[in-house]
Every structure is written in structure tokens, then in C-alpha cells.
Structure 1
Amino acid sequence: MTKLTKDTWILVADGEKALFLKNLTDGEDPNFELVTKEEQENPKDYDQSANKPGRMQDTGVQQLSALDDTDWHELAKERFADDMADMLYSLAHKGAYKRIVLVAAPKILGEMRDKLHKEVSSKVVGEVPKTLTNHPVDEIERIVKEELAA
């Protein structure tokens, strides 16, 4: 059975943007339509950090070691993956889709997969570990078709 059928949804996401697409045709000649788009403003970590990294006293005389600061940019990406998992659950619970393909950067895909509710996981028919959020829709169609056929 082909993974990409009529009315299959496709979530194309990275850590800051998500496109919810719907296939209007079949897997042989997919035609994706944008259902909705979600974006999060996530400035670079440097712009979000308030302080210089902290210092800690070392064992030697007047020696200090740097402490890692929180990477706010990366943390926001992880939270965005959590938000997408919650949104997928809400949409699945409302019956918005019966089948979905997840297309995301490998790290985001892994984080999202860990957060998916069973109701959503049962509807996932394919995964494509690629970042395609800034590609035109016709190119997303081609890449997803090729990846799911492999």
C-alpha cells in the first residue's frame, strides 16, 4: 500500500516553522495544498542571552573555569517540537486527518517522535528526515514522493 494517498497530511517542520499540507491527489502525482502555517520567533542565542557565561573557582590559585550558558535558541527549537506534537494530537483528536507523513530535520523529528501521543503515532504512515520548510511546495511534493517510494 502506498504511503502517500489522497487526503494524507504532511507536516513539514524545523525548529521554528511548520507547514501543514494535504495531498489532494494520489502518491503517483502528489498535489499538496497548504492547510496552515505555524511560525515561532526564535532569535539567535546571542540575542536572547542576558549575561556572559558564568565562572567557577578552580582548585588552583586564582584559576577560574567557564560554565556553559543555556542555549535559549536550541531550547526554543525543542519547545517548538513539543508544541507541534501537541498540535498534532489536538488535530487528530478532532478528526482533521487519518494519515500523516512527518518531514523534519532529523533532530526535530526525533524530539517530536518522542512526544507524540499514541493517537497520533498510529496515524503516522511515513517519515522523511530532511529540512524542507524553505523549499517551494512543488519541490516538497517531489522529494516526499521520492523518499516514501524508497
Structure 2
Amino acid sequence: MATAIFGAGCFWGVEAFFERFEGINHTRVGYIGGHLPNPTYEQVKTGATGHAEAIRIEYDPNIITYGGLVNIFFEAHDPTSRNKQGIDEGHQYRSAIFYQEETEKAISNEKINQWTNKGIFKRPIVTEVTPASTFYEAEEYHQKYSQKNGSFACGIG
């Protein structure tokens, strides 16, 4: 198994979107990229911690590639919207790929170029490609939120 970490706005909708694809074995939502150790949702949602809401995906690279995951990431949200996804606004909802090794960085940048050249988006892609830092799992009530509650109130669906 391998892991990948993406920030694409409200993590509830992103998790539900990714879980539909074959080869994705396990997901956890949480926080990454900030300066406060062990942040809580209440702290992250203020935008003051520097963290992004994110999803950590455990996947089988024999079934789906990292590049395939990056493609799904670009389908799951609007990568041209800086610090805003749907109704959610703030740096904690930024579009970001948190790479764990240099090959992931290279693939991510290549995919940004490919998606840019497709001409699908009317504005430039603003997705950050940044080294992964510590991923802090969100509180349990956030995990599999849409499965538990049937819906979610964020801008991704």
C-alpha cells in the first residue's frame, strides 16, 4: 500500500468523492501544513493555525497510480479557486498536494501542466505543491462524515 495527501476544500466532500474509486483502500481526514501541533477542528476552522483540511488516502498502486489520484483530485474540486471551495472560504480550504517524495512532486507538477493544457479551466490552476508535514487526524466525528450523516454542508458534492 501507498499513501497520498491532498487538500481540496472541505474534507467531508473530498473523502466521499475519492472513496468511489477502485484501488482506494482507506481514507482519513485531518489537518496538515500548519504550525500548531495537534490542532482541533475548532482551531483549524479559524484559519489561524495555517493547516489545510486534507485527506490521507491509502491506495494500492497496482490498481491506481499516484498520477491517477492526482487526476481524481483535479476532478474533485476547483483548483483555480484560491483559498475557497464552494461556500467554504479561508486558507484552510486551499487546493494543495502534499507530496511525500520527489517523484510525487514531479508527477503533481506534470499533472498541473497537463490539466492546464487541456483548457478546461477558465482561470489558472493555483494548487500548491508542497512537502508533506505532520498529518493530524481530525476528530472521529469528521471521519466518513457523509456515510454517517447522509449529506454534508460544504461546497463539494
Could you say which TM-score interval applies, normalised by the shorter chain? Answer: 0.3 to 0.5
TM-score, normalised to structure 2, is 0.35
Q: Which has the larger radius of gyration?
A: 1
TM-score, normalised to structure 1, is 0.36
